Structure 1
Amino acid sequence: MALMNNGQVLIVAGSGYDATVTNFEAAVWDPRTGTISRQSLGWDMFCNGMVVLPDGRVFINGGNLQYHPFRGEPRNSVFDPTTGQFTDLENMAHGRWYPTVTTLGDGSVMTFSGLSETGSTNSTVEIYRVGSGWSPEYESGWIPPLYPRMHLVPDGNVFASGPMAETMTFDTASKTWFGVASTNYNRMRTYGSSVLLPLSPADGYKARVMIFGGADPATATTEIIDLSAAAPRWQYGPPMSQPRIEMNATILPNGTVLALGGSANDEDASTASLNADLYDPDTNTFSSAGANAFPRLYHSNSLLLADGTVAVLGGNPLQGMYEPHIEIYSPAYLFNADGSLATRPRITGVAGAIAYGSAFAVQTPNAADIASVVLVRPGSPTHAFDQDQRLVRLSYNAGSGVLNVTAPPTGNIAPPGYYMLFVLSSAGVPSTASFVRLTADFSLSATPASQTVLPGGSTSYTATVAAGTGPTGAVAFSVSGLPSGATAAFTPASVNGSGSTTMRVATSLTTPLGTYPLTIIASGGGLVRREAVTLTVGASVMTMPGLP
C-alpha cells in the first residue's frame, strides 16, 4: 500500500495470498470519506515492492508469477492517481517476488532481492529511471534475504539493516556492496522492522537507523546504529513492551516512532502483541501508545495519514483468512491533558513545488508559536517494513504570519518527489499536512544537430546539462531511436548538476542506410529532459571545389 499526494491510499492485493483467485484486484481508499474503490488488475501484483515516483505515480515492482513454489514476476506497473489507471512499464531482466525498492537521490528506483521466475533468490540490483527504463543487472555477490530492510542515507548509498545479522551497504557509485557491522542480537530478525530516524540540519543530517523486534519466537529488543561514526556499530536500544514478529513501525510528524502489531509467535493470534509503543529518539525511551483492538499479523500495515493520524489495517494469518477492520490511531499530540482536542496550527499557503536548497514561504497565522517544520515522505509499507518513509527537519525563521523555510540541500537527504509538510506548535501539536513536491531543474542541449556516418563507422555528439533552480545531483544519460546494429555510449555516463558528456554512436556493417531521429535523454532530480538529434547512415555527398 502507498499514500498518494491526493491523500488517498492505494492498496494492491493481487491474488491476496489465495492460489484459487484469478481476479487480481487493487483498491483506492479515501480516509476522509471512508470510501473504497476496487478495480481489477491485468496480472498478479501480490507481494510486490512499492514506492511513489517523483512525479507522484505509484511504482509497483514485481509480484507473483506462481504459487507453491512461489516464483517472481519480471513485470512492473505504475498507478496514476490523476487518472486512476495502471500502466505497465518495461520488464526487469528477471522476476522478483518479495523485492525491496528504494528511491535514490536522483529520483531513480533501486530494486533488490525477491524470488526470480525460476524460484531462486534474485541477488542482483537493478535501477529504474523514468524515461530510460532499467539499468543492467549489478551482481551483489551475496544471497540477500527476501524483503531486505534498506534505507537511502545522506552519503547517497543504501544501507541494508536486516533482517540478516550482518548489515551491508550498497555503494551507488561503484555498484558494489561492503559489510558494515553485525547486530548484537546476531540472529535473523525475521519480519522485524527498521526505521531511518529523523534527519536534521542541526546535526549535519546524521544518519541513524533503528531496528525493532523480529525472529520466531519474537524478540522485544531494538538496536540503533550511527552511520556517521568513524566505525559504525550496533548498540542495543530500549526494549519494546512486547516481542513482535510481523510488526510495523511508523514515523510521526514529531519525530517519534510508533511501534505496534505483530505477535510473539508468527501468525499466532493467541500471542498477538496488542500494546503499542512510542519511541522518542531524543530521550531514547519508549512510552505506552495505547492498544489496538485487533491482532495485526502477516500482511498487516500501519501508515501515517495527512491529518497526523495513523491507519492500522490488514492481517492475513492463514491463506484465505483476512482481518477486515481498519483502525485509526490518534496520537496523544492531538489532545490536551484533559482529553479535549488540541488546537492545531494551520498552513494557509505554500508553493506546490520547492527546489533543493531554496528558501520558500509557509503562510500560517501561528508563525510565532511554531517550534518545528518537517517534511515527511508518504509511506509505502509491506511485510513489516515501510520502503519509502523518512522525516527531514527543516531550518526556518518566523515572520509576521509567515515562516521562511529552507528546503533540504540534496536528493540524498530527501529524494525528489512529494512530501507531507507539517508545522508543529510549541506544544508539539502538528498541523494537517500540505503536500509539496521537492524538485530541481535543469536544461539539456546537444550539438551538432545531425551527423552522417558510413555503415561500420562511428560518430559523436555532445550533450550538455545546465542546472537551473536547486542542485540536481547526478544526471544520467541514455538515448532512444538507434537503428538496428548501432550502439551508443556516454562518456561520462552521468554528470553532477551541470556538465557535458560525449555520446559516441557506432554502427555496424549491417546497419540499414537511412536517416534516424534520435532522442538524447537526461534524467536526474526526479526530472527527465529530452533533446532531438539526427543520425544519417550512408555515404555523405562531397562537393568538389569549382564544381556546381
Structure 2
Amino acid sequence: MKYRPSPKVRKALVGSAAVAVLGGMNAPAAIGFAQREYHQYEINRPEYKARYGHWDLLAMPTKYRVNSIHATLLPTGKVLLIAGSGNSIKHFNGGRFDSTLWDPATKTFKKIPTPKDLFCGGHTQLPDGRLLIAGGTARYEVLQGDVKRAGGAMLVKNEDPDHSRTFPKGTLFRSPTGKEYASQLPVSVPRATKTVDSATGRVAVTANQARVYVEATQDGPAGITNTSEQYAIVGLRGRDADNFYGMANKLGMDKKDFQGIREAYEFDPFTEKYVLVRSMSEARWYPTLVGLADGKVLTVSGLDDIGQIIPGKNEIFDPETGTWSPGPLRYFPTYPSLFLMRGGKLFYSGSNAGYGPANQGRVPGIWDPKSNTFTPVTGLKDADTLETSSSVLLPPAQRQKVMVLGGGGVGESPKSTARTAIIDLTAPHPSYVSGPKLPAPTRYLNSVILPDDTVFTTGGSTGYRGRSASNLLQAQFYDPANNAFTPAAAPTVGRNYHTEALLLPDGRVAVFGSDSLFADKANTIPGTFEQRVEIYTPPYLYRTRQAQLGSGPTELVRGVSASFPVTDAAHITTARLIRPGSSTHVTDVDQRSVALDVQRGKNAVTVTVPRDSSLVPSGWYMLFVTDNHHTPSRARWIHIS
C-alpha cells in the first residue's frame, strides 16, 4: 500500500520549521515526530523503493520465535532456523532445544523436535537435499571465579589386547590420595595393540587410550590436583583393574571453555525430521563443514570434548555410506571460511569466527586436501582483523574470485576494519588486492549473493558484539562488474554476533538473529537475543514485472541442456544456478552462483549446465533467469546429479 501522510502529518511537516524558530518547549518532540513521519513517507515512495529497496518485519507468532543461530534454505523453499539452546544456559540446563521451520510462500511456521543441543555445530547441504549437522554443545563455558569444582582431561588407558570397553557417564576415577573425579560423558576405549616379533616370538602390548572430561565429586579447591597421577577406576577388580586406569596431568579450577559433541544428524527436508547418523571421532563446537567435488563433506576445526581447539584432526563424511573417515591434517581456527575451487582444491579466505591463538591458522591460502599442501596468499591489508569478517565467492562462480569484507581483532579486541579485498584464484600467483571500503569499520557483516550478480551486504557492528551501541543500521550492494558499493535502504533492526542472512526463492533476502552483549551505550545493561526477522525486498522487484519461469525438468545432469517456458523470453539476458545458503556466525560456504549458457527462443529459454563438478557440486539449486532490467524471475528448484 502506498504511504500518504495524514493531514496532521502534512501540517506538522509544514509547521516544523516555524516551531523550531519559536523554540517552544514542545519543539524537539514536534520536530522528532515530523522527521519520523517524513522518513516513513520517504521510504515508502515507489521511486525510493525502486532505487533502494524496502524492509519489512516478518509477522512471526511468538510461540515460533527462536534464538536463531543457524539458518538454512531447504530445497522445499522452507527455511530451517536452529537455535538448540540458543546461547541460553537456562535452556541448556533445562534440556530445551529449539528449531522452527518457516515457509515464506505460505507464511506458515512449524516447531521441529530437536534431539540434541545443536547450538554452534556445523552444517552443509548434501547432494540429495538433506542437511548434515555435525557437532554442537556438550557444556557451556564457566568463567574463572565461577568454577565450583576442579576438572580437566582424563586419559583412560586400556592394556587389554583382547577387549575394548565403554565406561558410562559418571564413572569414578580415584587418585592415590583418595580424591575422586566423575566422568561427564561416556567414553569408549579401544583394545590394546598386540604385536609379535617374528625373530624372537616375543609379544609386545601397547596400551590404547581415549579422553574424557572429569570433575571432582566435591566442591572447592580441595579437588585440585597439580601433579601427574594414575587413577584407579572405581568398581574394577582383578585383571580389569590392572588393564584399565586413568592418567591426568592437572585437574584445576581455571576457566572452562565450551565443549563440543560428537553426534551428527541429517535434517530431511521432505519428512521434516532430524535423523541420527554415525558420530564423528572428534567432538566439535564451532566447526566448518564444506562440500567437496565428489559429494563428500570435509569437517574441520572446532572445540573438542574438553574445550580445547582441535589441532588439525579433520574428518570426511561419506553420505553414500553414512560413515566418517580421517581427513587431511590441517589446523584452522574455529568456523574457518573454506570455498571449493575449480579442480577440487579449497581456498581459505582467512575469515573465521573466534577461537584459536592469534598467531596460528590465521594466514589465508590455497589448500589441496588430496596432497595436504597449503600455499599461503599475500596482499591482504589489516590481516590481523579477519576474525568475524565476511567472505563470499563472488558471482558468477566461474570467475573464481573471493571477497573478504570487514572483520575485527582476535577475541574481544576493540579493533575493526572497513577493509575489503578480492583475490582472483585463476591468476598465476593469486594475491589479494584492495577493494572499495565499507561505509564504516564492520564486524559480523552478512553477505548474500543475488540473482543479478551483485552481493547484498547488511548489518554488523563496529564493536565486539555491538558494544557501546555500535550496531550499524546500514546496507549496501557490491557490484563486481564495477568494483563499487551503492547504498541500499537501511534496516530497522541492528545485527551483530549470531546473525544470519539468506536469499529466498522469490528474490528477497531474510535476516535473522543477533546477540548483543549489552543493551545500552554505557555497557551496563545485559543484552537480549534478537528474535525478530526482517525481510529485504531489493530494488529489482520494484522496477519491472518479473518474468514468469514455467515448469521444466527438475533433474539435470552436468553438461546437459534443458528448456523452460518463460514470459518475454526475448528480453532474458542471464540464467543462474544459485546454491541455497546455509549460514551461521556470518559464515556461509554453501552459497554460490553459477552462470549458465542461455539460448532464447520465442517463448522459452534453453540453458546448459557446466560439466565441472567442482564448479557445480551435486545438489539442489535455484534456477533464476534475469531480464535486461536486471529483474530476476522467481526461482525453479533444480537438482544437479
Q: Do both proteins adopt the same fold according to a TM-score greater than 0.5, normalized to the shorter chain?
A: yes
How many residues matched? Answer: 429
2:641 matches 1:435: no
Match of 2:562 in 1: 360
Q: Distance in 1 between matches of 2:127 and 2:418?
A: 36
Alignment of 1:285-296 (within 5 A): 285-296=484-495
Aligned with 1:17 (options 87, 91, 107): 87
Aligned with 2:604 (options 394, 398, 402): 402
Q: Quote the offset at 1:267 in angstroms.
A: 1.5
Match of 1:523 in 2: none
Match of 2:376 in 1: 179
Question: Does the Cα contact within 8 Å between 2:385 and 2:417 map onto a contact in 1?
Answer: no
Q: Quote the offset at 1:6 in angstroms.
A: 1.1
Q: Quote the offset at 1:65 in angstroms.
A: 1.1
Q: Quote the offset at 1:242 in angstroms.
A: 2.0
Alignment of 1:306-321 (within 5 A): 306-318=505-517, 321=528
Query: Which one has a bigger Cα radius of gyration?
Result: 2
Q: Distance in 2 between matches of 1:366 and 1:181?
A: 47
State the one-letter code of the partner of 1:207.
Answer: Q
Alignment of 1:317-332 (within 5 A): 317-318=516-517, 321-332=528-539
Q: Quote the offset at 1:88 in angstroms.
A: 0.8
Aligned with 1:282 (options 469, 481, 493): 481
Q: Distance in 2 between matches of 1:186 and 1:300?
A: 23
Identity %: 36
2:573 matches 1:371: yes
Q: Quote the offset at 1:20 in angstroms.
A: 1.7
Q: Quote the offset at 1:179 in angstroms.
A: 2.4
Q: Quote the offset at 1:258 in angstroms.
A: 0.9
- SS of 2:267 mapped into structure 1: strand
Which protein has the bigger strand share? 1
Alignment of 1:65-104 (within 5 A): 65-68=138-141, 69-104=257-292
Q: Distance in 2 between matches of 1:173 and 1:233?
A: 22
State the one-letter code of the partner of 1:77.
Answer: Y
Match of 2:129 in 1: 56
Question: Does the Cα contact within 8 Å between 2:314 and 2:330 map onto a contact in 1?
Answer: no
2:597 matches 1:392: no
Q: Which protein, 1 or 2, shows the higher relative CO under an 8 Å CA cutoff with sep ≥ 6?
A: 2
2:444 matches 1:246: yes
State the one-letter code of the partner of 1:2.
Answer: T
After superposition, the C-alpha distances for 1:434-458 in whole angstroms (9 at most, x for unaligned) are 000011xxxxxxxxxxxxxxxxxxx
2:321 matches 1:132: yes
In the alignment, structure 2 segments of 5+ residues that lack a partner are 1-70, 142-256, 352-360, 409-413, 518-525
In terms of mean alpha carbon deviation, does 184-193 or 430-439 score higher? 184-193
Q: Quote the offset at 1:138 in angstroms.
A: 3.1
After superposition, the C-alpha distances for 1:413-467 in whole angstroms (9 at most, x for unaligned) are 011000000000111000000000011xxxxxxxxxxxxxxxxxxxxxxxxxxxx
Q: Distance in 1 between matches of 2:604 and 2:107?
A: 34
- SS of 1:40 mapped into structure 2: coil
Match of 2:424 in 1: 226
Q: Distance in 2 between matches of 1:182 and 1:128?
A: 34
- SS of 2:429 mapped into structure 1: coil
- SS of 1:386 mapped into structure 2: coil
Q: Could you state the TM-score of these two structures normalised by the residue count of structure 2?
A: 0.65
Q: Distance in 2 between matches of 1:392 and 1:131?
A: 25
Q: Distance in 2 between matches of 1:432 and 1:141?
A: 41
Aligned with 2:503 (options 304, 312, 333): 304
Aligned with 2:387 (options 190, 193, 197): 190
Question: Does the Cα contact within 8 Å between 1:169 and 1:179 map onto a contact in 2?
Answer: yes
Q: Quote the offset at 1:149 in angstroms.
A: 0.9
Q: Distance in 1 between matches of 2:503 and 2:80?
A: 13
Q: Quote the offset at 1:320 in angstroms.
A: 7.7
Alignment of 1:85-164 (within 5 A): 85-122=273-310, 123-142=312-331, 144-163=332-351
After superposition, the C-alpha distances for 1:247-294 in whole angstroms (9 at most, x for unaligned) are 211001111111111100011261111110110000000000111001
Match of 1:451 in 2: none
State the one-letter code of the partner of 1:249.
Answer: S
Question: Does the Cα contact within 8 Å between 1:166 and 1:182 map onto a contact in 2?
Answer: no
Q: Distance in 1 between matches of 2:299 and 2:516?
A: 27
Match of 1:450 in 2: none
State the one-letter code of the partner of 1:120.
Answer: Q
Aligned with 1:47 (options 108, 120, 123): 120
Question: Does the Cα contact within 8 Å between 1:242 and 1:275 map onto a contact in 2?
Answer: no
Question: Does the Cα contact within 8 Å between 1:27 and 1:37 map onto a contact in 2?
Answer: yes
Match of 2:237 in 1: none
Match of 2:456 in 1: 258
Q: Quote the offset at 1:165 in angstroms.
A: 4.8
Q: Distance in 1 between matches of 2:539 and 2:429?
A: 37
Match of 2:541 in 1: 334
Q: Quote the offset at 1:139 in angstroms.
A: 4.8
Q: Could you state the TM-score of these two structures normalised by the residue count of structure 1?
A: 0.76
State the one-letter code of the partner of 1:321.
Answer: T
Match of 1:509 in 2: none
Question: Does the Cα contact within 8 Å between 1:105 and 1:412 map onto a contact in 2?
Answer: yes
State the one-letter code of the partner of 1:266.
Answer: Y
Aligned with 1:31 (options 97, 101, 104): 104
Q: Quote the offset at 1:241 in angstroms.
A: 1.2
State the one-letter code of the partner of 1:434.
Answer: R
Match of 1:493 in 2: none
In the alignment, structure 1 segments of 5+ residues that lack a partner are 337-341, 440-548
- SS of 1:334 mapped into structure 2: helix
Q: Distance in 2 between matches of 1:211 and 1:181?
A: 13
Relative to structure 1, the CA distance from residue 430 to residue 23 in structure 2 (aligned partners, 3 Å threshold; closer, same or farther) is same
2:406 matches 1:213: yes
Match of 2:619 in 1: 417
Q: Quote the offset at 1:141 in angstroms.
A: 4.4
- SS of 1:263 mapped into structure 2: coil
Match of 1:237 in 2: 435
- SS of 1:119 mapped into structure 2: coil
After superposition, the C-alpha distances for 1:103-149 in whole angstroms (9 at most, x for unaligned) are 1111111111111112121222211111323443235343x111001
Q: Distance in 1 between matches of 2:381 and 2:407?
A: 13
- SS of 1:291 mapped into structure 2: coil
State the one-letter code of the partner of 2:392.
Answer: V
After superposition, the C-alpha distances for 1:70-120 in whole angstroms (9 at most, x for unaligned) are 011111101111111100111111011111111111111111111111212
Q: Distance in 2 between matches of 1:137 and 1:20?
A: 35
Question: Does the Cα contact within 8 Å between 2:389 and 2:405 map onto a contact in 1?
Answer: yes
Match of 1:271 in 2: 470
Question: Does the Cα contact within 8 Å between 1:138 and 1:175 map onto a contact in 2?
Answer: no
RMSD between aligned alpha carbons?
1.6
Q: Distance in 1 between matches of 2:289 and 2:309?
A: 15
After superposition, the C-alpha distances for 1:483-522 in whole angstroms (9 at most, x for unaligned) are xxxxxxxxxxxxxxxxxxxxxxxxxxxxxxxxxxxxxxxx
- SS of 1:335 mapped into structure 2: helix
State the one-letter code of the partner of 1:253.
Answer: P
